[in-house]
Amino acid sequence: MATIEHSAIVKASPERVFALLERVEDFADYSDLIERIEPLGDDRYRWYVHAVGRDWTFDVVITECRAPEVLAWESLSGVDNQGRYRLTPVEEGTEVALTLTYSLRNRLVEKAVNRAATPLVGKVSRQILARVGDRL
């Protein structure tokens, strides 16, 4: 599994940042690569993403929701992935740290995705946190 990490400071309290992050279906508003997210009930969501020239669909479930500190998920179908947002209060507001791990079944696709994934996830994470910051 590959692991990607990204962090940023959002100029708002952890409670305010977490309140936006826990509205998972709104992530489509925060990134150009996320086409839409469908709530499926029971803390489950279907993600539709267009990245590295392909359309990706996967279902995730929220595995940990501990306000205002941690929001974590794992995939149930599609791209095998797990992620975690950890929020820490800092003088400037909130440090939001993302850790994302993923694995692909097709080695050829995995090589292409691995080359693009780190800058891609970094871009998505920056977009999400910047737009969350803008909303706050």
Strand ranges in 1-136 using DSSP code E only, listed in sequence order: 2-10, 34-41, 44-51, 54-66, 70-77, 80-90, 93-103
Residue by residue, pLDDT tens for the chain (136 residues) are 678 888 889 999 999 999 999 999 998 888 888 899 999 999 999 999 887 788 888 999 999 999 999 999 999 998 788 999 999 999 999 999 999 887 766 666 566 556 655 555 666 666 677 777 777 6
Cα dihedral 123, 126, 127, 129 in deg (nearest 10): 160
**pLDDT at position 18, please?**
96
Task: Using the CB atoms, write b or e for 26-41: b if 16+ within 10 Å.
Answer: bbbebbeebeebeeee
pLDDT of residue 30: 83
Say what the pLDDT of residue 94 is: 96
